[in-house]
């Protein structure tokens, strides 16, 4: 049967039951890929380098000649791998999937694998433009205008948990920290899986943004610094967040302190001390020493009280709200959160606070 070719818009909007095969090298896939794709490399990392160098320094024809034995050795294994993937899919969904195939630019690698799978009898679609076209689509998502509402609040306000509660009610929510696998502070990596690469974070973010836009309503997002751990929110999208209305939860200090003690107190002393020492330059030598001493003694609450006061001051300085944690006017310039509505909450109760703000 003929191999169908879809462009990136057709692929993104596809409602077909499919599996997606990325035939780039393992290193390319590991760096970043289309979410949900399976790695089915035509060449390993070394083979890709050999073929690529031959293509550039000699000719397309010589590169093909060198590539043929690499491909030939893998043909049976590739077919059997796809058979297993399709069989597993059919068991779950009770329908045979279409097989989407792509490489970097929709060139020879995906064409070769598409030919093989089509020859064997799979229904195959090749992605025109390949992963490069997908990356262009990703970047375009951040340049489009999105209707956003921003959930703000000092450290320990349970913002992420409140967003999860809003999402559970069926509302549109973008979980930046979940996508970044980091909670944003010096302690943000504790208990988290390894962060994705910057490129993979952008892929995940664009997919999530696209899915939430389908709900046709305002999207809730958490107020974050542009950097979340080792990844950055794309600049154009970050500007949209900062120019949207921020609904700032004001929750008493003691309630927030109790919340973060429960959240982070389960980690071992060495991890907590290391995270504290990473902010020593900004926290100050004396406060760092006092906080570390409390942590070493097992007095988590007093140690975190020092840290929470630091994070409150840091938030005031760089988020630039109209008022600080004491309700005092913040007169600093270049306000990054020009549109703020203050929401007073009694405590850190995500379900209650979600109901408090969800319909604002």
Domain positions in the chain are 4-138, 146-357
pLDDT value at position 201?
A: 98
Cα torsion angle, 231, 237, 240, 245, sign: negative
Query: Would you tell me how many other CB atoms lie within 10 Å of the CB of residue 140?
Result: 11
Alpha-carbon distance values, 294 to 85, 215, 268, 309, 317 (Å): 53, 47, 13, 15, 26
pLDDT (0 to 100) of residue 120: 96
Q: Which of 103, 260, 283, 305 is catalytic?
A: 103
Alpha-carbon distance 69 to 31, whole Å? 26
Report percent pLDDT > 70 for the chain.
94
Fold of 4-138: Oxidized Rhodanese; domain 1 (3.40.250)
| pLDDT at residue 3 in the model | 86
Look at residue 1 in the predicted model and tell me its pLDDT.
67
Q: Could you read off the pLDDT of 186-233 as tens digits, one per residue?
A: 898 899 999 999 999 999 999 999 999 999 999 999 999 999 999 999
Question: Which residues does 57 contact at the CB level (< 8 Å), separation at least 6?
Answer: none
What topology is assigned to 146-357 in CATH?
Answer: Rossmann fold (3.40.50)
- The span from the CA of 284 to the CA of 190, in Å, is 22
Q: Within the chain, which residues score under 70 in pLDDT?
A: 1, 318-337
Specify the pLDDT at position 14: 86
Provide the percentage of residues in the chain whose pLDDT is more than 90.
80
Examine domains 4-138 and 146-357 and report if their fold is the same: no
Q: Is 340 left (phi over 0), alpha (psi -120 to 50) or beta?
A: beta
- Over residues 145-164, the pLDDT tens digits come to 999 999 999 999 999 999 99
pLDDT at 336 (0 to 100): 59
Q: Tell me what pLDDT residue 318 has.
A: 63
Task: State yes or no: is 86 an active-site residue.
Answer: no
Q: How many CB atoms lie within 10 A of CB 320?
A: 19
| pTM for the structure as a whole | 0.91
């Amino acid at each position: 049967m003929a191999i169908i070719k879809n462009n990136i818009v057709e692929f993104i909007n596809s409602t077909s039951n499919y599996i997606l095969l990325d035939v780039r090298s393992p290193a390319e896939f590991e760096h970043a890929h289309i979410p949900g794709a399976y790695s089915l490399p035509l060449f390993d990392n070394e083979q890709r380098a050999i073929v690529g160098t031959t293509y550039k320094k000699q000719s397309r024809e010589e590169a093909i000649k060198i590539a043929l034995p690499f491909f030939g050795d893998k043909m049976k294994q590739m077919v059997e791998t796809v058979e297993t993937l399709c069989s597993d899919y059919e068991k779950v969904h009770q329908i045979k999937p279409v097989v989407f195939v792509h490489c970097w630019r929709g060139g020879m690698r995906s064409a070769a694998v598409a030919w093989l799978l089509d020859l064997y009898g799979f229904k195959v679609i090749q992605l025109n433009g390949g992963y490069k076209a997908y990356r262009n689509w990703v970047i375009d998502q951040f340049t489009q205008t999105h209707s956003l509402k921003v959930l703000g609040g000092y450290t320990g306000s349970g913002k992420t948990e409140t967003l999860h509660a809003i999402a559970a009610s069926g509302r549109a929510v973008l979980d930046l920290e979940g996508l970044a696998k980091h909670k944003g502070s010096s302690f943000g990596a504790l208990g988290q899986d390894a962060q994705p690469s910057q490129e993979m974070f952008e892929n995940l973010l664009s997919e999530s943004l696209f899915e939430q836009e389908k709900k046709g309503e305002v999207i809730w997002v958490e107020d974050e610094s542009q950097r979340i751990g080792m990844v950055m929110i794309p600049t154009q999208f970050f500007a949209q967040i900062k120019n949207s209305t921020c609904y700032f939860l004001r929750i008493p200090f003691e309630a927030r302190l109790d919340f973060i003690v429960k959240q982070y107190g389960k980690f071992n002393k060495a991890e907590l001390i290391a995270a504290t020492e990473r902010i020593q330059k900004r926290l100050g030598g004396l406060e760092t020493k006092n906080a570390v001493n409390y942590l070493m003694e097992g007095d988590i609450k007093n140690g975190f009280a020092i840290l929470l006061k630091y994070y409150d001051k840091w938030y005031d300085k760089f988020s630039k709200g109209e008022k600080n944690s004491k309700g005092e006017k913040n007169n600093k310039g270049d306000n990054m959160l020009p549109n703020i509505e203050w929401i007073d909450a009694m405590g850190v109760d995500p379900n209650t606070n979600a109901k408090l703000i969800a319909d604002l």
